[in-house]
């Protein structure tokens, strides 16, 4: 039976490249001259640590980082910036977490949308991916088209089409 997986994965190397290019751009910008700004990536936990002097620069850094991610073909919706920045002495720090894997709520929402579509497909939640199987590949392609038309606030990849 034909099947495919729905996942939300972030390529760490592309994210690291985007951060390095953003860091290079920030050091050459005039409004960041003589500022103590740092951007670091924790590759194990998918966390980007930003340290800078004020919130205007912090917003500029996040904007540059998102534009560089788009140029590296990464979806900037994978960044979770719900955590507020916090002061640390003369600096402010912010942690941006890259969402890696589908969350349980998103899995349930996707599963409900597939079932509401009333096609002869079955979907199973397996940890942080969803496997969709059907008898016809056309049904799977219509499910992919349905999921691409909706917004789940997280990038979706359709992998392992068999």
Identify the CATH number of the domain defined by range 12-98: 3.30.70.990
- The pTM for the full model equals 0.81
Q: Average pLDDT over the chain, rounded to whole?
A: 88
Share of the chain above pLDDT 70, in %: 100
Domain pair 3-8+101-159 / 12-98, same fold: yes
The answer to whether residues 125 and 107 touch, using CB atoms and an 8 Å cutoff, is yes
Question: Which stretches of the chain are DSSP H helices?
Answer: 12-28, 55-71, 104-116, 137-149
Residue range 3-8+101-159, CATH number: 3.30.70.860
What distance in Å separates the CA atoms of residue 31 and residue 27, rounded to the nearest whole number?
9
Closest of 57, 117, 45 to residue 92, by C-alpha: 57
Give domain limits for the chain: 3-8+101-159, 12-98
């Amino acid at each position: 039976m034909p099947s495919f997986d729905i996942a939300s994965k972030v390529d760490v190397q592309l994210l690291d490249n985007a951060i390095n290019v953003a860091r290079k751009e920030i050091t050459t910008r005039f409004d960041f001259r003589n500022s103590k700004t740092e951007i670091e990536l924790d590759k194990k936990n998918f966390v980007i640590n930003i340290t800078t002097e004020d919130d205007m620069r912090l917003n500029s850094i996040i904007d540059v980082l998102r534009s560089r991610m788009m140029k590296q073909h990464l979806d900037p919706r994978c960044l979770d910036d719900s955590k507020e920045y916090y002061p640390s002495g003369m600096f402010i720090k912010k942690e941006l977490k890259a969402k890696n894997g589908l969350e349980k709520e998103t899995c349930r929402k996707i599963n409900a949308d597939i079932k509401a579509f009333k096609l002869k497909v079955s979907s199973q939640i397996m940890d942080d991916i969803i496997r969709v199987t059907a008898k016809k590949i056309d049904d799977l392609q219509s499910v992919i088209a349905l999921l691409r038309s909706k917004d789940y606030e997280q990038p979706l990849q359709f992998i392992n089409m068999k």
